[in-house]
Amino acid sequence: MKQRGILTVVSGFAGSGKGTVMKALLSKYDYGLSISATTRSPRPGEEHGREYFFLTREQFESMIKGDQLIEYAEYVGNYYGTPRQYVEEQLEQGRNVILEIEVQGALKVKEKYPDTLLLFLTPPSADELKARLVGRGTEDASTIAKRMERAAKEAEMIEKYDYLVVNDQVERCVEEVNRIITSRQAAVSNNMELVAELTEELVRMASESGNGEKKKLAVSPDRKAK
């Protein structure tokens, strides 16, 4: 039986550079990135089915009713949610999956799937966060203010996460994220099936070699007698 994949949630303040880190991580290592559904409008350059599935509120609410989302949350006036089918299929096939979602959603995922690895990505400082948000140039001043306010609230939730990764340099950050996920894969608790198989096999082998010992012992006295 194939080992189930690891489910990792990566959250971070808007402007933490999550998108860039995720892109670099996926181009280097094999992870399945879940594409979320949202009711917000596409930013320039974003495509339906690539960054998000861009839906109307009616379409999104019908996914909620149909239980097609693992979790969903409202963030700065829009719905965001994780479609269930892709995540379950990939995990079942043994592929490690990453969800890039905000904190309320992350905690809901952890409730549903307690083995989920929660990872929080942060810029080195609050000043750096503001500078990145302003520099991005895709949001107006009032949205930036809302996002900074939201970041302050999110900071209070970081203690519920398993790991904190400082995004000072993309490459370093990518390696750290990959290392954290890989070491979770090696955790004993994640390998109980293999442990059971190994134990069973070793017990069987030990009992076989135990018989061998008895046979040897049985012939040795004769040898001595000679």
> For binding to ligand 5GP (CB under 6 A), which residues are involved?
14, 36, 40, 71, 73, 75, 80-82, 100-102, 104-105
Provide, rounded to whole angstroms, the least separation between the CB of residue 186 and ligand 5GP: 27
Which residue number, 80 or 120, has a Cβ lying nearer to ligand 5GP? 80
Rounded Cα–Cα distance for residues 47 and 54 (Å): 8
User: Quick check: 52 and 81 in contact, CB under 8 A?
Assistant: no
Which residue number, 8 or 36, has a Cβ lying nearer to ligand 5GP? 36
Provide, rounded to whole angstroms, the least separation between the CB of residue 40 and ligand 5GP: 5
DSSP annotation of 94: T
Which residue number, 102 or 176, has a Cβ lying nearer to ligand 5GP? 102
Backbone angles phi, psi at 95, to 5 degrees: -90, 140
Which residue number, 36 or 122, has a Cβ lying nearer to ligand 5GP? 36
Rounded Cα–Cα distance for residues 126 and 128 (Å): 5
**In 3-state terms, what secondary structure has residue 14?**
coil
Provide, rounded to whole angstroms, the least separation between the CB of residue 129 and ligand 5GP: 13
Q: Which residue is nearest to ligand 5GP (CB)?
A: 105
Which residue number, 71 or 176, has a Cβ lying nearer to ligand 5GP? 71
Provide, rounded to whole angstroms, the least separation between the CB of residue 27 and ligand 5GP: 19
Which residue number, 11 or 96, has a Cβ lying nearer to ligand 5GP? 11
User: Quick check: 38 and 80 in contact, CB under 8 A?
Assistant: yes
Provide, rounded to whole angstroms, the least separation between the CB of residue 38 and ligand 5GP: 6
Provide, rounded to whole angstroms, the least separation between the CB of residue 86 and ligand 5GP: 11
User: Quick check: 127 and 35 in contact, CB under 8 A?
Assistant: no
- Cβ-based burial of 88 (10 A; exposed 0-12, middle 13-18, buried ≥19): middle
Which residues have C-beta within 8 Å of that of residue 116, sequence separation ≥ 6? 7, 8, 9, 109, 110
Neighbours of 133 (CB within 10 A): 22
